[in-house]
Amino acid sequence: MPNQEVIKQTLDFLETMEEGIGYVKQKLGEINTEATMTVLTDLTTAFTEIQKNISNAKRTAKKVR
């Protein structure tokens, strides 16, 4: 089912994002703002994509009903 696949991929992606947040935390401790900003930008983009995919999955589910 498409919704199950979206959920699985989202959960996998969230694990990767969690690693990115850990990296940001480490770099902030080192006061390495350049590396931090790059990863934060990537995390923001990733979060936006997850939101889009969830919204699309909800719309698809409503159409199927």
The whole-angstrom separation of Cα 33 and Cα 37 is 6
- State pLDDT tens for residues 3-58: 787 778 888 888 889 999 999 999 899 998 888 999 999 999 988 988 888 888 77
Number of structural domains the chain divides into = 1
| Residue range of the domain that includes 31 | 2-64
Neighbours of 3 (CB within 10 A): 13
Determine contact, residues 4/37, Cβ cutoff 8 Å: no
The whole-angstrom separation of Cα 41 and Cα 57 is 25
Per-residue pLDDT at 43: 93
